[in-house]
A and B are shown apart, each in its own frame.
Chain A
Amino acid sequence: MSITVQNISKRFGSFTALDNVSLDVPSGGLLALLGPSGSGKTTLLRIIAGLEVPDEGIILYGDEEVTHRSVRERNVGFVFQHYALFRHMSVFENVAFALRVRGWKQERVRQRVGELLHLVRLEGYEKRRPSQLSGGQRQRVALARALAAAPRVLLLDEPFGALDAKVRQELRQWLRLLHRQIHCTTVLVTHDQEEAFEVADRVVVMNDGRIEQVGSPHELLQQPASDFVMDFLGCPDYSI
Protein backbone atom coordinates (compact mmCIF):
# COMPACT_ATOMS: atom_id res chain seq x y z
CA MET A 1 0.00 0.00 0.00
CA SER A 2 1.77 3.12 -1.16
CA ILE A 3 1.22 6.52 0.40
CA THR A 4 0.97 9.71 -1.63
CA VAL A 5 1.11 13.15 -0.04
CA GLN A 6 0.11 16.00 -2.35
CA ASN A 7 0.44 19.70 -1.60
CA ILE A 8 -0.29 19.41 2.10
CA SER A 9 -0.36 22.61 4.13
CA LYS A 10 -1.22 23.03 7.81
CA ARG A 11 -1.32 26.09 9.99
CA PHE A 12 -1.82 26.42 13.72
CA GLY A 13 -3.03 29.94 14.25
CA SER A 14 -0.31 32.11 12.75
CA PHE A 15 2.29 29.34 12.77
CA THR A 16 2.76 27.43 9.50
CA ALA A 17 3.61 23.85 10.38
CA LEU A 18 3.60 22.49 6.83
CA ASP A 19 3.95 24.47 3.62
CA ASN A 20 2.91 22.74 0.40
CA VAL A 21 4.53 19.40 1.12
CA SER A 22 4.43 16.54 -1.38
CA LEU A 23 5.85 13.07 -0.98
CA ASP A 24 5.61 9.51 -2.27
CA VAL A 25 6.16 6.42 -0.18
CA PRO A 26 6.40 3.23 -2.24
CA SER A 27 4.48 0.19 -1.10
CA GLY A 28 6.48 -1.79 1.41
CA GLY A 29 9.05 0.95 1.83
CA LEU A 30 10.54 2.26 5.05
CA LEU A 31 10.77 6.02 5.05
CA ALA A 32 12.18 8.29 7.71
CA LEU A 33 11.07 11.88 8.24
CA LEU A 34 14.13 13.59 9.65
CA GLY A 35 14.47 17.11 10.91
CA PRO A 36 14.89 19.37 13.93
CA SER A 37 11.97 20.04 16.25
CA GLY A 38 9.46 22.39 14.71
CA SER A 39 10.22 21.14 11.21
CA GLY A 40 6.71 19.73 10.81
CA LYS A 41 7.63 16.07 10.63
CA THR A 42 5.30 14.95 13.43
CA THR A 43 2.49 17.06 12.03
CA LEU A 44 2.95 15.42 8.65
CA LEU A 45 2.90 11.97 10.21
CA ARG A 46 -0.27 12.75 12.11
CA ILE A 47 -1.92 14.08 8.96
CA ILE A 48 -1.03 10.88 7.15
CA ALA A 49 -2.59 8.98 10.06
CA GLY A 50 -5.70 11.10 10.22
CA LEU A 51 -4.92 12.48 13.66
CA GLU A 52 -4.78 15.97 12.18
CA VAL A 53 -6.78 17.47 9.33
CA PRO A 54 -4.76 19.42 6.73
CA ASP A 55 -5.81 22.87 5.60
CA GLU A 56 -4.92 22.10 1.98
CA GLY A 57 -3.86 19.11 -0.04
CA ILE A 58 -4.73 15.44 -0.26
CA ILE A 59 -3.51 12.11 1.03
CA LEU A 60 -3.80 8.89 -0.98
CA TYR A 61 -3.44 5.32 0.21
CA GLY A 62 -2.72 3.45 -2.98
CA ASP A 63 -5.27 4.89 -5.38
CA GLU A 64 -7.83 5.88 -2.77
CA GLU A 65 -8.11 9.39 -1.45
CA VAL A 66 -8.33 9.25 2.32
CA THR A 67 -7.92 12.93 3.22
CA HIS A 68 -11.35 13.20 4.76
CA ARG A 69 -11.55 9.73 6.22
CA SER A 70 -11.41 9.50 10.00
CA VAL A 71 -8.39 7.89 11.58
CA ARG A 72 -10.56 4.97 12.51
CA GLU A 73 -11.48 4.26 8.91
CA ARG A 74 -7.94 4.44 7.63
CA ASN A 75 -6.78 1.30 9.41
CA VAL A 76 -3.33 2.61 10.27
CA GLY A 77 -0.98 1.32 12.89
CA PHE A 78 0.24 4.31 14.88
CA VAL A 79 2.91 4.11 17.52
CA PHE A 80 2.85 7.19 19.75
CA GLN A 81 5.92 8.90 21.07
CA HIS A 82 5.15 8.01 24.65
CA TYR A 83 3.51 4.71 23.65
CA ALA A 84 0.04 5.67 24.98
CA LEU A 85 -0.45 2.13 26.29
CA PHE A 86 -3.74 1.58 28.09
CA ARG A 87 -2.62 1.74 31.68
CA HIS A 88 -5.53 -0.20 33.08
CA MET A 89 -5.17 -3.14 30.74
CA SER A 90 -2.73 -6.02 30.70
CA VAL A 91 -0.27 -6.47 27.87
CA PHE A 92 -2.59 -9.06 26.36
CA GLU A 93 -5.59 -6.72 26.43
CA ASN A 94 -3.56 -3.85 25.03
CA VAL A 95 -2.47 -5.89 22.04
CA ALA A 96 -5.94 -7.40 21.66
CA PHE A 97 -7.69 -4.03 21.71
CA ALA A 98 -7.98 -3.50 17.95
CA LEU A 99 -9.32 -7.03 17.60
CA ARG A 100 -11.84 -6.66 20.41
CA VAL A 101 -13.35 -3.53 18.95
CA ARG A 102 -13.74 -5.39 15.68
CA GLY A 103 -15.62 -8.15 17.48
CA TRP A 104 -13.17 -10.98 16.96
CA LYS A 105 -13.94 -14.23 18.77
CA GLN A 106 -11.85 -15.09 21.80
CA GLU A 107 -10.06 -18.03 20.13
CA ARG A 108 -8.94 -15.95 17.15
CA VAL A 109 -7.89 -13.14 19.45
CA ARG A 110 -5.75 -15.43 21.56
CA GLN A 111 -4.08 -16.87 18.50
CA ARG A 112 -3.31 -13.51 16.94
CA VAL A 113 -2.06 -11.95 20.18
CA GLY A 114 0.15 -14.97 20.68
CA GLU A 115 1.66 -14.49 17.21
CA LEU A 116 2.28 -10.83 17.83
CA LEU A 117 3.86 -11.29 21.22
CA HIS A 118 6.11 -13.91 19.67
CA LEU A 119 7.02 -11.44 16.93
CA VAL A 120 8.04 -8.78 19.43
CA ARG A 121 9.65 -11.34 21.74
CA LEU A 122 7.40 -10.74 24.70
CA GLU A 123 5.85 -14.18 25.17
CA GLY A 124 5.01 -14.75 28.81
CA TYR A 125 4.29 -11.08 29.46
CA GLU A 126 0.58 -11.34 28.73
CA LYS A 127 -0.62 -10.59 32.22
CA ARG A 128 1.80 -7.77 33.03
CA ARG A 129 0.63 -4.19 33.30
CA PRO A 130 2.42 -1.42 31.37
CA SER A 131 3.68 0.03 34.65
CA GLN A 132 5.55 -3.22 35.26
CA LEU A 133 7.45 -3.03 31.98
CA SER A 134 10.65 -1.30 31.03
CA GLY A 135 10.66 1.40 28.37
CA GLY A 136 11.92 -0.94 25.68
CA GLN A 137 9.29 -3.54 26.52
CA ARG A 138 6.53 -0.92 26.43
CA GLN A 139 7.73 0.14 23.03
CA ARG A 140 7.43 -3.39 21.73
CA VAL A 141 3.93 -3.76 23.17
CA ALA A 142 2.94 -0.51 21.45
CA LEU A 143 4.25 -1.93 18.20
CA ALA A 144 2.47 -5.25 18.62
CA ARG A 145 -0.73 -3.40 19.43
CA ALA A 146 -0.45 -1.27 16.30
CA LEU A 147 0.17 -4.32 14.12
CA ALA A 148 -2.68 -6.40 15.52
CA ALA A 149 -5.34 -5.57 12.95
CA ALA A 150 -2.93 -5.90 10.02
CA PRO A 151 -2.84 -2.20 9.15
CA ARG A 152 -2.07 -1.03 5.64
CA VAL A 153 0.41 1.46 6.89
CA LEU A 154 2.64 1.65 10.00
CA LEU A 155 3.49 5.07 11.40
CA LEU A 156 5.95 5.63 14.22
CA ASP A 157 6.35 8.96 16.03
CA GLU A 158 9.87 9.22 17.50
CA PRO A 159 9.56 5.64 18.67
CA PHE A 160 12.92 5.37 20.35
CA GLY A 161 13.24 8.91 21.67
CA ALA A 162 12.49 8.12 25.29
CA LEU A 163 14.92 5.21 25.60
CA ASP A 164 18.48 4.57 26.71
CA ALA A 165 21.18 4.66 24.02
CA LYS A 166 21.87 0.94 24.17
CA VAL A 167 18.18 0.03 24.05
CA ARG A 168 17.71 2.43 21.16
CA GLN A 169 20.35 0.71 19.11
CA GLU A 170 18.96 -2.76 19.74
CA LEU A 171 15.45 -1.69 18.86
CA ARG A 172 16.57 0.04 15.69
CA GLN A 173 18.13 -3.10 14.35
CA TRP A 174 15.16 -5.08 15.45
CA LEU A 175 12.75 -2.70 13.65
CA ARG A 176 14.73 -3.12 10.46
CA LEU A 177 14.46 -6.91 10.73
CA LEU A 178 10.78 -6.68 11.55
CA HIS A 179 10.15 -4.58 8.49
CA ARG A 180 11.85 -7.15 6.29
CA GLN A 181 9.54 -9.76 7.80
CA ILE A 182 6.20 -8.04 7.54
CA HIS A 183 6.72 -5.73 4.54
CA CYS A 184 4.33 -3.09 5.83
CA THR A 185 4.70 0.40 4.36
CA THR A 186 6.33 2.24 7.23
CA VAL A 187 6.98 5.88 7.96
CA LEU A 188 9.13 6.84 10.91
CA VAL A 189 9.65 10.29 12.45
CA THR A 190 12.96 11.05 14.12
CA HIS A 191 15.30 13.92 14.91
CA ASP A 192 18.22 11.51 15.19
CA GLN A 193 20.17 11.31 11.95
CA GLU A 194 21.97 8.11 12.86
CA GLU A 195 18.66 6.44 13.50
CA ALA A 196 17.15 7.58 10.21
CA PHE A 197 20.16 6.44 8.24
CA GLU A 198 20.40 3.08 9.93
CA VAL A 199 16.75 2.11 9.73
CA ALA A 200 15.27 3.65 6.58
CA ASP A 201 15.65 3.01 2.84
CA ARG A 202 14.86 6.59 2.05
CA VAL A 203 15.09 9.67 4.22
CA VAL A 204 13.13 12.90 3.92
CA VAL A 205 14.96 15.86 5.41
CA MET A 206 12.54 18.51 6.61
CA ASN A 207 12.96 22.02 7.87
CA ASP A 208 10.51 24.76 8.73
CA GLY A 209 7.50 22.95 7.29
CA ARG A 210 9.16 22.13 3.96
CA ILE A 211 10.98 19.20 2.46
CA GLU A 212 14.63 19.99 1.87
CA GLN A 213 15.58 16.74 0.20
CA VAL A 214 14.47 13.18 -0.34
CA GLY A 215 16.82 10.34 -1.01
CA SER A 216 18.70 7.32 0.22
CA PRO A 217 21.18 7.96 3.02
CA HIS A 218 24.00 7.64 0.49
CA GLU A 219 22.47 10.21 -1.87
CA LEU A 220 21.91 12.66 0.95
CA LEU A 221 25.50 12.52 2.06
CA GLN A 222 27.04 12.61 -1.40
CA GLN A 223 24.75 15.20 -2.94
CA PRO A 224 23.20 17.43 -0.31
CA ALA A 225 20.67 19.68 -2.02
CA SER A 226 21.04 22.67 0.25
CA ASP A 227 23.15 24.27 2.97
CA PHE A 228 20.67 23.18 5.56
CA VAL A 229 20.97 19.52 4.58
CA MET A 230 24.73 19.78 4.66
CA ASP A 231 24.77 21.44 8.06
CA PHE A 232 22.14 19.19 9.55
CA LEU A 233 23.72 15.95 8.41
CA GLY A 234 27.28 16.80 9.29
CA CYS A 235 29.63 13.83 9.41
CA PRO A 236 28.20 10.45 10.43
CA ASP A 237 30.77 8.18 12.05
CA TYR A 238 30.11 5.01 10.13
CA SER A 239 30.24 4.00 6.51
CA ILE A 240 27.22 2.92 4.54
Chain B
Amino acid sequence: MATLNRRVLPGFSLSLGYAVFYLGLLVLLPLAACFLKAASLSAGQFAEAVWNERTRAAYALTFGTSLTAAGANMMLGLLVAWVLARYSFPLKRLFDALVDLPFALPTAVAGLVYSSLYVPSGWLGRYLVPLGIAGAYSRLGIVLVLIFTGFPFVVRTVQPVLEELEPELEEAAATLGANRWQTFRRVLLPPLIPPLLTGFALAFARALGEYGSVVFIAGNKPFHTEIAPVLIVARLEEFAYGEATALAVVLLAMSFILLGAINLLERWSKSRAT
Protein backbone atom coordinates (compact mmCIF):
# COMPACT_ATOMS: atom_id res chain seq x y z
CA MET B 1 0.00 0.00 0.00
CA ALA B 2 1.57 3.25 -1.09
CA THR B 3 1.94 6.15 1.27
CA LEU B 4 0.71 9.25 -0.44
CA ASN B 5 3.15 12.10 -0.51
CA ARG B 6 2.10 15.34 -1.98
CA ARG B 7 5.48 15.91 -3.49
CA VAL B 8 5.61 12.64 -5.38
CA LEU B 9 2.48 12.72 -7.48
CA PRO B 10 2.05 15.96 -9.40
CA GLY B 11 -0.77 18.43 -9.43
CA PHE B 12 -1.47 18.86 -5.73
CA SER B 13 -1.45 22.66 -5.66
CA LEU B 14 -3.23 22.94 -8.97
CA SER B 15 -6.03 20.52 -8.17
CA LEU B 16 -6.57 21.57 -4.58
CA GLY B 17 -6.26 25.25 -5.43
CA TYR B 18 -8.82 25.03 -8.18
CA ALA B 19 -11.18 22.92 -6.10
CA VAL B 20 -11.07 25.32 -3.18
CA PHE B 21 -11.45 28.31 -5.48
CA TYR B 22 -14.45 26.79 -7.22
CA LEU B 23 -16.12 25.73 -3.99
CA GLY B 24 -15.44 29.09 -2.43
CA LEU B 25 -17.04 30.94 -5.30
CA LEU B 26 -19.97 28.66 -5.91
CA VAL B 27 -20.82 27.41 -2.42
CA LEU B 28 -19.23 29.49 0.31
CA LEU B 29 -19.89 32.90 -1.21
CA PRO B 30 -23.65 32.34 -1.63
CA LEU B 31 -23.87 30.84 1.85
CA ALA B 32 -22.07 33.85 3.24
CA ALA B 33 -24.50 36.17 1.47
CA CYS B 34 -27.37 34.28 3.01
CA PHE B 35 -26.06 34.50 6.56
CA LEU B 36 -24.99 38.09 6.10
CA LYS B 37 -28.47 39.06 5.02
CA ALA B 38 -30.07 37.18 7.87
CA ALA B 39 -27.69 38.86 10.29
CA SER B 40 -28.78 42.26 9.02
CA LEU B 41 -32.16 41.64 10.56
CA SER B 42 -32.65 42.55 14.16
CA ALA B 43 -33.32 39.72 16.57
CA GLY B 44 -36.96 40.78 16.76
CA GLN B 45 -37.42 40.91 13.01
CA PHE B 46 -35.79 37.53 12.64
CA ALA B 47 -38.00 35.99 15.27
CA GLU B 48 -41.12 37.48 13.74
CA ALA B 49 -40.14 36.26 10.27
CA VAL B 50 -39.50 32.67 11.30
CA TRP B 51 -42.10 32.19 13.96
CA ASN B 52 -45.60 33.32 13.16
CA GLU B 53 -48.85 31.52 12.54
CA ARG B 54 -48.25 31.01 8.85
CA THR B 55 -44.69 29.82 9.21
CA ARG B 56 -45.63 27.50 12.03
CA ALA B 57 -48.23 25.93 9.81
CA ALA B 58 -45.63 25.61 7.05
CA TYR B 59 -43.04 23.99 9.34
CA ALA B 60 -45.61 21.61 10.72
CA LEU B 61 -46.72 20.63 7.25
CA THR B 62 -43.19 20.34 5.84
CA PHE B 63 -41.96 18.37 8.79
CA GLY B 64 -45.04 16.20 9.08
CA THR B 65 -45.27 15.26 5.43
CA SER B 66 -41.53 14.66 5.11
CA LEU B 67 -41.50 12.45 8.18
CA THR B 68 -44.50 10.48 6.96
CA ALA B 69 -43.06 10.08 3.50
CA ALA B 70 -39.64 9.02 4.81
CA GLY B 71 -41.28 6.57 7.18
CA ALA B 72 -43.35 5.10 4.37
CA ASN B 73 -40.22 4.91 2.24
CA MET B 74 -38.46 3.03 4.99
CA MET B 75 -41.06 0.28 4.86
CA LEU B 76 -41.63 0.25 1.13
CA GLY B 77 -37.91 0.52 0.49
CA LEU B 78 -37.18 -2.43 2.75
CA LEU B 79 -39.80 -4.49 0.96
CA VAL B 80 -38.47 -3.68 -2.51
CA ALA B 81 -34.82 -4.06 -1.48
CA TRP B 82 -35.64 -7.43 0.10
CA VAL B 83 -37.34 -8.74 -3.01
CA LEU B 84 -34.66 -7.43 -5.37
CA ALA B 85 -31.82 -8.81 -3.28
CA ARG B 86 -33.21 -12.23 -2.56
CA TYR B 87 -35.69 -13.34 -5.16
CA SER B 88 -35.65 -13.72 -8.89
CA PHE B 89 -38.50 -13.13 -11.29
CA PRO B 90 -38.97 -12.19 -14.93
CA LEU B 91 -37.85 -8.68 -15.96
CA LYS B 92 -35.99 -8.28 -12.70
CA ARG B 93 -33.29 -6.10 -14.24
CA LEU B 94 -35.92 -3.77 -15.63
CA PHE B 95 -37.61 -3.33 -12.30
CA ASP B 96 -34.27 -2.88 -10.63
CA ALA B 97 -33.44 -0.06 -13.02
CA LEU B 98 -36.87 1.50 -12.41
CA VAL B 99 -35.98 2.07 -8.77
CA ASP B 100 -33.58 4.79 -9.86
CA LEU B 101 -36.11 6.63 -11.98
CA PRO B 102 -37.09 9.17 -9.29
CA PHE B 103 -33.43 10.20 -9.22
CA ALA B 104 -33.34 10.86 -12.93
CA LEU B 105 -36.82 12.28 -13.45
CA PRO B 106 -37.22 16.06 -13.14
CA THR B 107 -39.30 16.98 -10.12
CA ALA B 108 -41.63 19.09 -12.23
CA VAL B 109 -42.58 16.05 -14.29
CA ALA B 110 -43.17 14.05 -11.12
CA GLY B 111 -45.44 16.76 -9.77
CA LEU B 112 -47.30 17.12 -13.03
CA VAL B 113 -48.02 13.45 -13.52
CA TYR B 114 -48.82 12.73 -9.89
CA SER B 115 -51.34 15.53 -9.73
CA SER B 116 -52.97 14.35 -12.92
CA LEU B 117 -53.08 10.71 -11.78
CA TYR B 118 -54.96 11.33 -8.57
CA VAL B 119 -57.58 13.85 -9.66
CA PRO B 120 -61.06 12.33 -9.98
CA SER B 121 -60.61 11.84 -13.72
CA GLY B 122 -57.10 10.43 -13.43
CA TRP B 123 -56.01 6.84 -13.93
CA LEU B 124 -55.77 6.22 -10.19
CA GLY B 125 -58.05 8.95 -8.95
CA ARG B 126 -61.08 7.43 -10.60
CA TYR B 127 -60.78 4.46 -8.24
CA LEU B 128 -59.49 6.27 -5.18
CA VAL B 129 -61.63 9.40 -5.00
CA PRO B 130 -64.88 7.45 -4.68
CA LEU B 131 -63.18 5.68 -1.75
CA GLY B 132 -62.57 9.06 -0.19
CA ILE B 133 -58.85 9.14 -0.97
CA ALA B 134 -58.00 12.51 -2.44
CA GLY B 135 -54.44 12.25 -3.70
CA ALA B 136 -54.31 15.62 -5.42
CA TYR B 137 -54.41 19.13 -3.93
CA SER B 138 -54.23 17.68 -0.46
CA ARG B 139 -51.72 16.78 2.19
CA LEU B 140 -51.92 13.17 1.07
CA GLY B 141 -50.85 14.35 -2.36
CA ILE B 142 -47.78 15.97 -0.87
CA VAL B 143 -46.91 12.78 0.98
CA LEU B 144 -47.41 10.68 -2.14
CA VAL B 145 -45.10 12.77 -4.28
CA LEU B 146 -42.51 12.92 -1.50
CA ILE B 147 -42.60 9.15 -1.30
CA PHE B 148 -41.85 9.07 -5.01
CA THR B 149 -38.88 11.43 -4.86
CA GLY B 150 -37.36 9.77 -1.82
CA PHE B 151 -38.02 6.19 -2.84
CA PRO B 152 -34.58 5.24 -4.21
CA PHE B 153 -32.72 6.36 -1.10
CA VAL B 154 -33.80 3.59 1.21
CA VAL B 155 -33.72 0.88 -1.45
CA ARG B 156 -30.20 1.74 -2.56
CA THR B 157 -28.77 1.92 0.95
CA VAL B 158 -30.39 -1.31 2.13
CA GLN B 159 -29.96 -3.44 -0.97
CA PRO B 160 -26.13 -3.73 -0.93
CA VAL B 161 -26.15 -4.65 2.73
CA LEU B 162 -28.75 -7.35 2.13
CA GLU B 163 -26.74 -8.71 -0.76
CA GLU B 164 -23.59 -8.92 1.34
CA LEU B 165 -25.25 -10.92 4.11
CA GLU B 166 -23.86 -14.42 4.15
CA PRO B 167 -26.32 -17.23 3.67
CA GLU B 168 -24.42 -19.09 6.38
CA LEU B 169 -25.97 -16.83 8.98
CA GLU B 170 -29.46 -18.00 8.13
CA GLU B 171 -28.34 -21.58 7.87
CA ALA B 172 -26.79 -21.34 11.30
CA ALA B 173 -29.99 -19.90 12.74
CA ALA B 174 -31.98 -22.72 11.18
CA THR B 175 -29.70 -25.39 12.63
CA LEU B 176 -30.14 -23.75 16.02
CA GLY B 177 -33.91 -24.09 15.80
CA ALA B 178 -35.11 -20.64 14.75
CA ASN B 179 -38.16 -20.38 12.49
CA ARG B 180 -38.26 -17.96 9.55
CA TRP B 181 -39.79 -15.09 11.46
CA GLN B 182 -37.33 -15.43 14.33
CA THR B 183 -34.46 -15.62 11.88
CA PHE B 184 -35.69 -12.48 10.23
CA ARG B 185 -36.15 -10.56 13.44
CA ARG B 186 -33.00 -11.65 15.24
CA VAL B 187 -30.49 -12.36 12.50
CA LEU B 188 -31.41 -10.50 9.34
CA LEU B 189 -33.00 -7.31 10.61
CA PRO B 190 -30.31 -6.04 13.05
CA PRO B 191 -27.61 -5.50 10.38
CA LEU B 192 -30.21 -3.67 8.31
CA ILE B 193 -30.99 -1.07 10.97
CA PRO B 194 -28.05 1.25 10.18
CA PRO B 195 -28.70 1.40 6.43
CA LEU B 196 -32.45 1.71 7.05
CA LEU B 197 -31.87 4.69 9.27
CA THR B 198 -29.37 6.19 6.85
CA GLY B 199 -31.84 5.81 4.01
CA PHE B 200 -34.55 7.30 6.16
CA ALA B 201 -32.40 10.31 6.95
CA LEU B 202 -31.49 10.79 3.30
CA ALA B 203 -35.12 10.55 2.20
CA PHE B 204 -36.16 12.87 5.00
CA ALA B 205 -33.54 15.48 4.09
CA ARG B 206 -34.57 15.34 0.47
CA ALA B 207 -38.25 15.67 1.32
CA LEU B 208 -37.70 18.70 3.54
CA GLY B 209 -36.28 20.72 0.69
CA GLU B 210 -38.44 19.36 -2.11
CA TYR B 211 -40.17 22.02 -4.13
CA GLY B 212 -40.68 21.22 -7.79
CA SER B 213 -42.96 18.24 -7.38
CA VAL B 214 -44.93 19.53 -4.42
CA VAL B 215 -45.81 22.78 -6.13
CA PHE B 216 -47.92 20.94 -8.69
CA ILE B 217 -49.84 18.72 -6.37
CA ALA B 218 -50.30 20.69 -3.21
CA GLY B 219 -52.56 23.52 -4.20
CA ASN B 220 -50.32 25.67 -2.00
CA LYS B 221 -53.02 27.08 0.20
CA PRO B 222 -51.44 29.02 3.08
CA PHE B 223 -52.00 27.43 6.48
CA HIS B 224 -53.21 24.27 4.81
CA THR B 225 -51.06 22.95 2.04
CA GLU B 226 -48.20 25.41 1.96
CA ILE B 227 -44.82 23.88 2.61
CA ALA B 228 -41.88 25.93 3.84
CA PRO B 229 -40.07 26.22 0.48
CA VAL B 230 -43.29 27.49 -1.11
CA LEU B 231 -43.57 30.08 1.65
CA ILE B 232 -40.02 31.23 0.93
CA VAL B 233 -40.88 31.73 -2.73
CA ALA B 234 -44.03 33.61 -1.75
CA ARG B 235 -41.96 35.98 0.38
CA LEU B 236 -39.48 36.44 -2.46
CA GLU B 237 -42.28 37.38 -4.80
CA GLU B 238 -43.33 40.01 -2.29
CA PHE B 239 -39.73 41.25 -2.36
CA ALA B 240 -39.52 40.55 1.35
CA TYR B 241 -35.92 39.40 1.02
CA GLY B 242 -35.15 39.66 4.71
CA GLU B 243 -38.01 37.44 5.73
CA ALA B 244 -37.32 34.96 2.96
CA THR B 245 -33.68 34.76 4.03
CA ALA B 246 -34.61 34.26 7.65
CA LEU B 247 -36.74 31.28 6.68
CA ALA B 248 -33.97 30.02 4.42
CA VAL B 249 -31.55 30.12 7.33
CA VAL B 250 -33.91 27.98 9.37
CA LEU B 251 -34.07 25.44 6.56
CA LEU B 252 -30.30 25.59 6.15
CA ALA B 253 -29.79 24.92 9.83
CA MET B 254 -32.01 21.87 9.51
CA SER B 255 -30.05 20.76 6.44
CA PHE B 256 -26.73 21.01 8.26
CA ILE B 257 -27.99 19.11 11.25
CA LEU B 258 -29.32 16.37 9.01
CA LEU B 259 -26.08 16.32 7.01
CA GLY B 260 -24.18 15.77 10.23
CA ALA B 261 -26.60 13.09 11.34
CA ILE B 262 -26.31 11.30 8.00
CA ASN B 263 -22.51 11.39 8.19
CA LEU B 264 -22.60 9.86 11.64
CA LEU B 265 -25.09 7.24 10.54
CA GLU B 266 -22.96 6.29 7.54
CA ARG B 267 -19.91 5.94 9.74
CA TRP B 268 -21.88 3.84 12.19
CA SER B 269 -23.08 1.69 9.30
CA LYS B 270 -19.54 1.14 8.09
CA SER B 271 -18.23 0.23 11.49
CA ARG B 272 -21.02 -2.29 11.95
CA ALA B 273 -20.39 -3.84 8.58
CA THR B 274 -16.72 -4.66 9.21
Residues of A within 8 A of B (CB): 12, 43, 46, 50-53, 70-71
Contacts and interface: CB of A to CB of B under 8 A. Distances in A.
Nearest to A17: B3
Contacts of B7: 53, 70
B254 to A, nearest CB: 37
A102 to B, nearest CB: 17
A96 B2 CA distance: 24
B5 to A, nearest CB: 6
B26 interface: no
Nearest to A43: B3
Interface string B1-19: 0110101100000000000
Contact of B8 (A12, A43, A50): A50
A43 B3 CA distance: 9
Query: Interface of chain A, helix or strand or loop or mixed?
Result: loop
A71 B3 contact: no
16 contacts: A12-B3, A43-B3, A46-B3, A50-B8, A51-B2, A51-B5, A51-B8, A52-B3, A52-B5, A52-B8, A53-B5, A53-B7, A53-B8, A70-B7, A70-B8, A71-B8
A231 B143 CA distance: 72
Interface of B: 2-3, 5, 7-8
A168 B3 CA distance: 27
Given A43-B3, A71-B8, 14 more contacts: A12-B3, A46-B3, A50-B8, A51-B2, A51-B5, A51-B8, A52-B3, A52-B5, A52-B8, A53-B5, A53-B7, A53-B8, A70-B7, A70-B8
A52 B8 CA distance: 7
Contacts of B3: 12, 43, 46, 52
A50 B7 CA distance: 9
A50 B10 CA distance: 13
Query: Interface of chain B, helix or strand or loop or mixed?
Result: loop
A104 B5 CA distance: 30
B247 to A, nearest CB: 46
A50 B8 CA distance: 7
A51 B3 CA distance: 9
Contacts of A71: 8
Contacts of A53: 5, 7-8
Contacts of A51: 2, 5, 8
Contacts of B8: 50-53, 70-71
A46 B9 CA distance: 13
A53 B12 CA distance: 15
A71 B3 CA distance: 15
A79 to B, nearest CB: 14
A194 B5 CA distance: 33
A46 B8 CA distance: 11
Contacts of B5: 51-53
A53 B5 CA distance: 8
A53 B3 CA distance: 11
A113 B5 CA distance: 31
A224 to B, nearest CB: 31
Contacts of A70: 7-8
A230 B8 CA distance: 37
A89 B3 CA distance: 25
A52 B3 CA distance: 8
Contacts of B2: 51
B60 to A, nearest CB: 50
Contacts of A12: 3
Nearest to B6: A53
Which has the most chain A C-beta neighbours within 10 Å: B5, B7, B8?
B8
A16 B8 CA distance: 20
A112 B274 CA distance: 49
Contacts of A43: 3
A163 B3 CA distance: 24
B182 to A, nearest CB: 45
A18 to B, nearest CB: 12
